[in-house]
Chains A and B, each alone.
Chain A
Amino acid sequence: MTTMTDPPGQGFRLSQLIYDTRYRSLTIQVVAMIVLMLLFSWLVSNTIHNLQTLGKDFDFGFLTQPSGYDINQRLIEYDSQSTHGRAAVVGILNTLLVAVLGCALATVLGVIAGVLRLSNNWLVSRLMAVYVEGFRNVPLLLWIVLIFALMTESTPAPRAFRGDTPDASMLFDAVAITNRGVYIPAIHFASPFFTNGLFNWLLILAVLGASIFAISRLRHWATEKQEATGDRPTTWYLILGLLIVPTGLLMLLMGAFLDMPSLQGFNFGGGVHLRNSLIALWLALSLYTGAFIAEIVRGGILAVNKGQTEAAYALGIRPSTTMNLVILPQALRVIIPPLISQFLNLTKNSSLAIAVGYMDVRSTLGGITINQTGRELEGMLLLGLFYLVLSLLISGVMNVYNASVKLKER
């Protein structure tokens, strides 16, 4: 007995392109491709035509021309004779500066608020709820301009610090909060052998890194000892010593001293001048993102099954150890991915610097440079590429992390 499974062979018919599922996906993709190519070529031809009528070309040469404008906050050498390219780099560094500072403070605020919101102290948890809802439901831009207004309107002018009975006084004789910005002590190096500031800081960072590496080895050794003998050697004084002594010695060797800000004429001199724009942007970004991070932390801790805690207690593990070894590792798996996307949001939101005149990359490359050279297309393209690369880098790191902590399943 034979069964016929194949349909009667009729050869290929055109209608199969639409009705036969084997070919239909191909048809759809080809049609989509053609439509997209048409759209794209239409846009490009429009652009070329428009550029021609305006008498412009597509050229990145402006990046090597002198910029002719000043930037009031710069992390690297820059003046109005530097190139537009260097102005863009100064802007990028400023963006990264406020982003890194903001991420650090936002994490601290967020973790504290998230944990306190779960506190069984009714008053504290309500207070944190007010903070979180208040910041989450009001636009970031409003917070930025509000904090900026607070910094400029409600703080004393430098002249209020003058005289025998001044209206305002410095905090600990070291920090002056004025309406022109915050002045904090700066660390300078007096030793004649260490004159290059950047080099000094890199050296200090390197020593600090080495100390931290040594500490991690020490902890590793303690854990091994604990597993072998059951007793964990006391290490906290060693850790503290490793952390402080080498760096401290190095700084003594370099002749580090604090340069306190002090009144000189009508303004403060010495120390580091943090502009109001930076402070306002930093605080607003941190408080705003901190509210989101608080919700993430709270959700992460709540996501750990209560049975996990109970199981750990049943094994006789102490509460602090339970937190460190059982709850946090599981909560972190839930917390880290949205946390990193909040960092990403903070970095992108730092482009709101425009509201307070902070010179980030959007204000230099995407603002003054575009206005001076008339290169909107090139400038916006570079600006977009910078943010895009930054986002892709950070999300790439996140993907690697996700893969490493993923639950290993079948």
Chain B
Amino acid sequence: MSDTHAQTVAYVRETMVEQKEPPLSQSGAYKWIHENMFSTPLNVILTVVSLFVIWTVLSHVLPWAVMGIWDADSLAQCREIRDQLYGADASVACWAVISERWNQLLFGFYPPELYWRPVLAFVLFLAAIAPVLFASVPRKMLWFSAAAPFVLYWLLWGGSLWGPIAVAAGFALGAVVMRFAAPALGALAGVLLAILVPLLYWFLISGPLAGALNAVIPLELVNVRSNDMGGFMLAMIIGVSGIALSLPLGIVLALGRQSDLFIINKCSVFFIEVIRGVPLIVWLFTASLLLNYFLPPGTNFDLMLRVIIMVTLFSSAYIAEVVRGGLAALPKGQYEAADALGLDYWKSMRLIILPQALKISIPGIVNTFIGLFKDTTLVVFIGLLDPIGLSNAIRASTDWNGIYWELFVFIGLCFFIFCFSMGRYSLFLEKKLRREHR
């Protein structure tokens, strides 16, 4: 059959045709530009408008920034140099203010000969959070992360090293009591004892102990007062402490809000709603104006500490709401499965519920952290010298009176780098923890 069929066909091509290049309009840059920028009349208009916007912005900003003057002592000198170089009409940046005052913007009025301390603290801080952020860093580093708060405190504020060590020993004491007393006395008594013993230790023993140790082996750094700290260092201190403290507090509040226990539930709801309902700036004024009313007469503690407490409480309420969303988004089956396994409340939360709920709430939590870090600028209104406050102080000096944009650009860029990298990290974590549809 096939033979006869073959004979009926007049012509059969025996070789393949050479493959041709795709037409120009269907490949390469031309196609990409056509599809992504000029596919419809509306798109053409949008592209032209965007090009115009980009051109307008860049044509003003780029020459201003690139031709900027880096070497001058004052704004007047900057203008002299500009007149010589580009003529009086040119609009150029005076970056000299940054090159002269960058140390103030970063460290506030921290003594210049001690700048190595905050710098070292920052490096140590990066090393300490690395094992928390990235699972590939050796787990042994977590011990360093646990010790870091005490070391960093000592580096920044100075004083005797024995003070932070004595405080840290309290935590170790609690852990030891928990480890050995709990099997002997039962779980509840163990926990109570593990809370009571360190408290007693901190109130009665730690102070004299630190003093005695310091008398034997003095390990002291020069004291620096909180008032001298400012700029980005201040933003980092408040931001990082607030972030580290508000996450656990926020989780506890969220659990309280989901709890069946009536009183605990209502207290958590009240706390969260009141904190969230009032702007942070009002809370900061409360901390600076009113806190002395609520505490015993004569109590007077550091303004920076008050701010850290307020910022922590504020963002913990927001985190509680985010985590509550995560808890509510978990299928009910997970709760029931934990119960069916016979786990008690804390175990089921720790092993089953919270790991999943926190994973769901990562974007919200990181957004809250970014918000907290940005909100540290508000402390300028109660007299702390954050970067924006310092920019006002710099402008108040006769040398730099009338300088705006350079300072704003510098401060904005610094904040942008921190906040943007936090956002990127959250995306990375989400991608890493995603379990479905890979």
* Cβ proximity bits B250-270 to A, threshold 8 Å, 1 near / 0 not: 000000000011111001000
Bound state CA distance, A386 and B388, in angstroms?
28
A380 contacts B375, C-beta separation under 8 Å: no
Bound state CA distance, A129 and B35, in angstroms?
20
* Cβ proximity bits A260-302 to B, threshold 8 Å, 1 near / 0 not: 0000000000000000000000000000000000000000000
Interface of chain B residues 395 through 438 with chain A (CB within 8 A): 404-405, 408, 411-412, 415-416, 419-420, 423
A354 within 8 Å of B by Cβ? yes
B37 contacts A141, C-beta separation under 8 Å: no
Q: How many A-B residue pairs have CB under 8 A?
A: 148
* Cβ proximity bits B176-188 to A, threshold 8 Å, 1 near / 0 not: 0000000000001
Bound state CA distance, A370 and B288, in angstroms?
13
- Given contacts A28-B261, A124-B47, A348-B278, A139 and B289 within 8 Å (CB-CB): no
B377 contacts A142, C-beta separation under 8 Å: yes
Which of A1-9, A44-52, A75-83, A231-239 is the interface stretch?
Answer: A44-52
A309 CB, nearest partner CB in chain B, Å: 18
A121 contacts B416, C-beta separation under 8 Å: no
B293 within 8 Å of A by Cβ? yes
A137 contacts B419, C-beta separation under 8 Å: yes
B289 contacts A391, C-beta separation under 8 Å: no
Partner of B277, one of A53, A355, A387: A387
* Cβ proximity bits A214-249 to B, threshold 8 Å, 1 near / 0 not: 000000000000000000000000000000000000
B37 contacts A122, C-beta separation under 8 Å: yes
Chain A residues with CB below 8 A from B297, complex form: 46, 49-50, 53
* Cβ proximity bits B280-316 to A, threshold 8 Å, 1 near / 0 not: 1110011001101111110000000000000000000
Chain B residues with CB below 8 A from A18, complex form: 188
Bound state CA distance, A196 and B54, in angstroms?
49
- By DSSP majority rule, is chain A's interface helix, strand, loop, or mixed? helix
Partner of A51, one of B293, B295, B380, B404: B293
A25 CB, nearest partner CB in chain B, Å: 5
A388 contacts B278, C-beta separation under 8 Å: yes
* In the complex, residue of chain B having the shortest beta-carbon distance to the beta carbon of A28: B261
* Cβ proximity bits B17-53 to A, threshold 8 Å, 1 near / 0 not: 0000000000000000001110100010011001101
Bound state CA distance, A145 and B409, in angstroms?
12
B210 within 8 Å of A by Cβ? no
Bound state CA distance, A127 and B419, in angstroms?
19
A221 CB, nearest partner CB in chain B, Å: 33
B46 contacts A142, C-beta separation under 8 Å: no
A139 contacts B277, C-beta separation under 8 Å: no
Chain B residues with CB below 8 A from A29, complex form: 261-264
Bound state CA distance, A120 and B281, in angstroms?
41
Interface of chain B residues 340 through 380 with chain A (CB within 8 A): 370, 374-375, 377-378, 380
B415 CB, nearest partner CB in chain A, Å: 5
* In the complex, residue of chain A having the shortest beta-carbon distance to the beta carbon of B289: A376
A380 contacts B419, C-beta separation under 8 Å: no
- Given contacts A141-B378, A387-B282, A392-B273, A119 and B411 within 8 Å (CB-CB): no
B153 within 8 Å of A by Cβ? no
A30 CB, nearest partner CB in chain B, Å: 8
Bound state CA distance, A95 and B380, in angstroms?
21
B330 within 8 Å of A by Cβ? no
Chain A residues with CB below 8 A from B70, complex form: none
A47 contacts B370, C-beta separation under 8 Å: no
B88 within 8 Å of A by Cβ? no
A138 within 8 Å of B by Cβ? yes
Interface of chain B residues 75 through 124 with chain A (CB within 8 A): none
A299 CB, nearest partner CB in chain B, Å: 10
Chain A residues with CB below 8 A from B378, complex form: 141, 352
Chain A residues with CB below 8 A from B295, complex form: 46
B423 contacts A137, C-beta separation under 8 Å: yes
Chain B residues with CB below 8 A from A33, complex form: 263
Chain A residues with CB below 8 A from B51, complex form: 123
Bound state CA distance, A349 and B381, in angstroms?
14
A383 contacts B39, C-beta separation under 8 Å: no
* In the complex, residue of chain B having the shortest beta-carbon distance to the beta carbon of A295: B367
A137 contacts B420, C-beta separation under 8 Å: yes
Partner of A50, one of B293, B370, B388: B293
B45 CB, nearest partner CB in chain A, Å: 10
A105 within 8 Å of B by Cβ? no
Chain A residues with CB below 8 A from B188, complex form: 18
* In the complex, residue of chain B having the shortest beta-carbon distance to the beta carbon of A354: B381
B292 contacts A141, C-beta separation under 8 Å: no
Bound state CA distance, A390 and B282, in angstroms?
14
A197 within 8 Å of B by Cβ? no
B138 within 8 Å of A by Cβ? no
Chain A residues with CB below 8 A from B415, complex form: 137-139, 142
Bound state CA distance, A50 and B374, in angstroms?
35
B59 CB, nearest partner CB in chain A, Å: 16
A31 CB, nearest partner CB in chain B, Å: 10
A377 within 8 Å of B by Cβ? yes
B419 contacts A136, C-beta separation under 8 Å: yes
B279 within 8 Å of A by Cβ? yes
Bound state CA distance, A380 and B278, in angstroms?
11
B293 contacts A46, C-beta separation under 8 Å: yes
Bound state CA distance, A124 and B297, in angstroms?
61
Partner of B47, one of A43, A121, A138, A142: A121
B46 contacts A145, C-beta separation under 8 Å: no
A120 contacts B260, C-beta separation under 8 Å: no
A124 contacts B50, C-beta separation under 8 Å: yes
Bound state CA distance, A146 and B295, in angstroms?
39
B282 contacts A362, C-beta separation under 8 Å: yes
B282 contacts A36, C-beta separation under 8 Å: no
- Given contacts A119-B46, A380-B289, A392-B273, A137 and B416 within 8 Å (CB-CB): yes
B32 CB, nearest partner CB in chain A, Å: 8
Bound state CA distance, A139 and B370, in angstroms?
10
Chain A residues with CB below 8 A from B296, complex form: 46
B274 within 8 Å of A by Cβ? yes
Interface of chain A residues 369 through 395 with chain B (CB within 8 A): 370, 376-377, 380, 383-384, 387-388, 390-392
Chain A residues with CB below 8 A from B54, complex form: 123, 127
Interface-central residue, A123, A140, A366, A388, by most chain B CB under 10 Å: A123
Top 4 A-B residue pairs of the complex, sorted by shortest distance between their CB atoms: A391-B277, A137-B419, A388-B277, A122-B36
User: Could you jot down 28 A-B contacts, CB within 8 Å?
Assistant: A25-B260, A29-B264, A32-B261, A46-B293, A46-B295, A46-B297, A119-B43, A120-B43, A121-B36, A123-B36, A123-B47, A123-B54, A127-B54, A134-B416, A136-B423, A137-B420, A138-B415, A139-B388, A140-B374, A141-B377, A142-B408, A142-B412, A146-B404, A354-B381, A380-B282, A387-B278, A387-B279, A388-B273
- Residue numbers of B with Cβ under 8 A of A are 35-37, 39, 43, 46-47, 50-51, 53-54, 188, 260-264, 267, 273-274, 276-282, 285-286, 289-290, 292-297, 370, 374-375, 377-378, 380-381, 388, 404-405, 408, 411-412, 415-416, 419-420, 423
